[in-house]
Structures are given as C-alpha cells and as structure tokens.
A and B are shown apart, each in its own frame.
Chain A
Amino acid sequence: MSMDYREYILDHYRDPRNYGRLENPTVHVEDSNPLCGDQVSMDLLVEGDHVTAVRFQGRGCAISQAATSMLTEMVQGKSVQEVVRLGKDDILEALGIPISPARMKCAFLGLRVLHKSLVLAGLERPEHADEHDDGL
C-alpha cells in the first residue's frame, strides 16, 4: 500500500479551512513535533456546550496541515461531547489514504493540539486526552 497525495489532501494543504486566529478564544494552544518541526496552533471558542468557532495556524508537511484543516471542519459547530470523542480513526478516515507509520505523528499533530485545548479549557480529563497523545 502506498501513501498517495490525493487532490483533496493537497487542496486542504494549499487552501486550509478555518485558518487564522480568533479574537477572543476560550482557549489557545500551540504544539510542535520536535522530530520534524511541524507546528500547529489552535483557537477554540466554546459557547454553552458547543464549539462555535475554531481557527488554526501552522507550518509543516501536507499531511500535518491537511489533517488539521480537516479536523477543524469536524469540530466547527459540534457539541463539546462530540468533539471530545474525536480520535485517530476520524483523522485517518478523513485523510482516506494509508499513512505510513513514520508519518502517523504528522497526521495526529492537530488532534493532539485539539485535545490539549480541551483539557486546558476544563472540558476533558487529561487521562482521556492522553489516548490521543502519541508521545511526540
């Protein structure tokens, strides 16, 4: 099986969705992959029990940036309960191509930042978030 760079992945990479910053986010978190230097920062606005807005910024490979862009589409407007449940399988399904083991950390960087944000906002237990942490 080979990773192929499908057009929709390149489209998310070239034209990332929900890119930028929020003016008054509930929470802002940044993280990077020390092995390759890929970076992602994320702003979440939580109102009531919904994530009403999300923005991200980052630099890195197509996989890390496209996966984060796709993730923000899954987060936008969803209930906190739903967002907390987002996991690795959701990312892999959205990417829709086989990801080689060495690139898993790229694929899950945005997910890791999302769950860190939820923990920081008091919406998720740290033990639960650890499940999405590849120990980058």
Chain B
Amino acid sequence: MQDVVEVRREPRSVEEIRGDFPILSRQVHGKPLVYLDSAASSQKPLAVIEAMNAYYRSSHANVHRGVYEISEEATEALERARTKVARFINARQSKQVIFTRNTTESINLVAYSWGWANVKAGDLIVLTTMEHHSNLVPWQLLAQRSGARLEFVPLTPEGLLQLDVYARLLEQGPKLVAFTQMSNVLGTINPVKEMIAQAHAAGAVALVDAAQSAPHLPLDVQELDADFVCFSGHKMLGPTGIGVLYGKRELLEAMPPFLGGGDMIRSVSLCSSTWNDLPWKFEAGTPAIAEAVGLGAAVDYLSTLGMDWVRQHERSITAYALERLQSVPQLQIYGPLTDELRGGVVSFSLADIHPHDLASILDQEFGVAIRAGHHCAQPLMEQLGLVATARASFYVYTLPEEIDVLVQGLRRALEIFQV
C-alpha cells in the first residue's frame, strides 16, 4: 500500500482561486462580472460542479435501498459527504449532521420537532432584532400555536447586540434562545460562544443560525457547545437544495420526526411506525444526493484554502471596502466600522438614491452585482429607519480591484442623480 503523503500547500493567490470559478470569467452588459452578492449565494468552483457531474455520470441510484453496486456507491457518496461536513464543523459524530434543503428548513425542523415537544403556553423564546426572517417566522408560528412568548435582544446604535438586555432576558428562564452568528445585513459577528454558555447557565437550549458564518468563519460546534447549528450549502460554494442541521445527539434522539415517509422509518404498519436511527430519522424521502456530494466537495475546497485564511482574506477585503466606501460623499454605512467585529458584508445607502436605482446603475454600467432591498430582515430595516439598503458582500474570490469598480460606480450614480 502506498503511503499517504500530506502535501502542505502554499497559500494560493486570489487570482489563482478565481480561475477555479468559471462564472467569474463571464461578462455582463459587456463588462467583466463583479460579483458582490455572495451573502445571498456564493459562486461554485469547478471542483463542486465536477463532483456532482461525476456522481450523475457514474454512480447515481437511490440510496439506502439497493443491494447492487451503483446503489451502494451512491449511498457511500452520500454518507461520505456527511462525514466531510461533520469534520468541517467538528461534530463529534457524523450522525449529528442532518441534511435538509437549507438553513430555513433546518430551523423549521427544530421549531416543529423540538418546539412542539418542548415549548408550552407561557414559555419564553429569546431572539434578536437582527435576525433574518428565517430565524423569526418559524418561532412566530410556534409561539402562535403554543402560546409561547417571544422576546428580542435589541441592538446598540453601532449594530451590536445589547448583551445586558440578553442577560436580563435569560433571568426569566427561556426555553430556547436562537440567534445568528453573523448578521446578513450589518455583518456583525456575535459572541455566540459566550451567549451559548450564558443560555446554558440559564437552562435554555441554544440554536445558532450559521447561514452567514459557516461559509466565512472557522466553525467548531463542540467548542461553541451549541445545541443546534443551521446552515446552507449554497452560500459556502456548494449547490442549492442542500442544507445542514447539526444537533446534540441527546436532543436529536429525544425529538419526534419532522417529515414522515420513506427512509426515516424502521418498520411501518398501517396505523403506526417506529423511527429509524439518526440521522435518517429526520431525512424522509429520497435525499438530495448529488447536492450532498457537491457540498462535500465544497467543504473539501474550503478546507484546502483553510478557514483561517478565508477569514483573514475577508477581513482585509472588508477593511479595504470600509475605507474606500467612506471616501464616497454622502455614503452611510450601517453596522460596525471595524473589520474585527464584522464579516464580509457591508450595507450602505448613498444620498437619497434608492438602492434599486443604485443596483441597476451598478449592474448596467459597471457589471457589478450587489443586493438591494430589505435582505429578508424587515424588523432590522425598521430599526434602522429604512425601507431598504444596498449591500455588497465578499468571498474567497473577491479582489480589491472589484471594490474599486464598486466605488467608481457609486460615484457615477451620484453624477447621474446630480447629488
């Protein structure tokens, strides 16, 4: 047998990394694409596209059923992807990684399954006012049906959580706290490890919305001691249609199933059934096998870059963007003004130009793709006194020169609107 030699790779240049992403060489409106919307969805490296392609070309069959060769290969591909994701987030066991469609479905799974079994009338659920709709609405539905109460941790003017209010809410003994690790609007990175420890001391279960953090920060679920962690594949170089729910084993085992159907059962009679083991108890029906394979390739790709490098690269791009954007007259940035407390997301407004008009000008005259709107965080927008903001977000392939094109476009918008 050949010895496995671990090759320590030199850090690659961003230019070289960009070569792995076919879409980044295309043009829009006759200009090179400047993709600054990775917080909405990231682009995909060839490694991911080809892994899914290879799976369909050579190994596809249904999983956990067939006794023939390619079904066994498909099953192995699915479970190998699970193991990769488990390692990526440092889960103790891969059975704690449940494949869902996306972050939203992962949170809904907990809200329905854990929520229904554990939350009663009068119970308290603590959220924050910076949450994405996907970490608000499932709890609103649970509260409406169970009679539970929702309380919210407000923000400081800088866009940080008011942790003194959080501590006071914990004194009321909530059943559950659920918060984002990184705001998709403000970029704020929350001190989740400390917040989880405080929640546990108060007897609460803690759910982390890692949709924005899992792609961009080193994530160690054991170190965080999180009870549930939810994230999506498509924001971390993987395909759409695959997401992850990580949970502590004892919690997952005690929870009733979410969706019923094939794959999640041990035995079925006409009137009752018994449930399969973890993780399959929560994976009813044929799973997104190729998408899981793609996600496995994505976490391999990120691991090769190293999540510390990813964070470092994004910090420097974010610092550069904050500096350059502040040089644009009449530009207002929302959220922390240091790259230390912020992920690679910058929301801003420019004079009184509506974000949609900005986004159209940037797209059509400069090939720059940014997000404009309420970012599925209407309560947060309301606190900021805004209907919408423009948002630029960065990833492993973002170059400082792209920030320069953005700034050039913003100056052009000021000219067009004569402000």
A-side interface residues toward B, CB under 8 Å?
Answer: 2-5, 10, 35-39, 59-63, 100, 103, 106
Q: A36-B388, A61-B357 are in contact. Are A10 and B418 (CB under 8 A)?
A: yes
Tell me the bound Cα distance from A100 to B241 in angstroms.
27
B172 at the A interface (CB under 8 A) = no
B-side interface residues toward A, CB under 8 Å?
Answer: 29, 353-357, 360-361, 363-365, 372-374, 381, 387-388, 416-418
Chain B residues closer than 8 Å to A61, beta-carbon distance: 354-357
Smallest CB gap from B361: residue in A: A5
Q: How many A-B contacts at CB < 8 Å in the complex?
A: 51
Tell me the bound Cα distance from A35 to B372 in angstroms.
10
Q: Give me 26 A-to-B residue pairs in the complex whose CB atoms sit less than 8 angstroms apart, sorted by A's number.
A: A3-B360, A3-B364, A5-B361, A5-B416, A5-B417, A35-B373, A36-B355, A36-B372, A36-B387, A36-B388, A37-B373, A37-B381, A37-B387, A37-B388, A38-B354, A38-B356, A38-B387, A60-B354, A60-B387, A61-B357, A62-B353, A62-B357, A63-B356, A63-B357, A63-B360, A100-B360
Docked-complex contact A59 and B29, CB < 8 angstroms: no
Chain B residues closer than 8 Å to A35, beta-carbon distance: 373
Leading 7 A-B pairs by shortest Cβ distance: A61-B354, A37-B387, A61-B356, A2-B364, A62-B357, A61-B357, A5-B416
Docked-complex contact B417 and A106, CB < 8 angstroms: no
Residue in A3, A61, A103 whose Cβ sees the most chain B Cβ within 10 Å: A61
Tell me the bound Cα distance from A62 to B419 in angstroms.
14
Tell me the bound Cα distance from A2 to B388 in angstroms.
23
| Distance from B397 Cβ to chain A, minimum over Cβ atoms (Å) | 24
Tell me the bound Cα distance from A5 to B354 in angstroms.
13
Chain A residues closer than 8 Å to B364, beta-carbon distance: 2-4, 100
Docked-complex contact B374 and A36, CB < 8 angstroms: yes
Q: A5-B357, A61-B354, A100-B360 are in contact. Are A10 and B388 (CB under 8 A)?
A: no
Tell me the bound Cα distance from A16 to B177 in angstroms.
47
Smallest CB gap from A98: residue in B: B364
Smallest CB gap from B356: residue in A: A61
* 10 more CB-based (< 8 A) A-B contacts, given A3-B364, A103-B360: A5-B357, A5-B361, A35-B373, A36-B388, A37-B374, A38-B387, A61-B357, A62-B353, A63-B357, A100-B363
Selected from B29, B355, B374, B417, the residue in CB contact (under 8 A) with A10 is B417
Selected from A4, A10, A39, A106, the residue in CB contact (under 8 A) with B356 is A106
Tell me the bound Cα distance from A35 to B365 in angstroms.
23
Selected from B29, B356, B365, the residue in CB contact (under 8 A) with A103 is B356
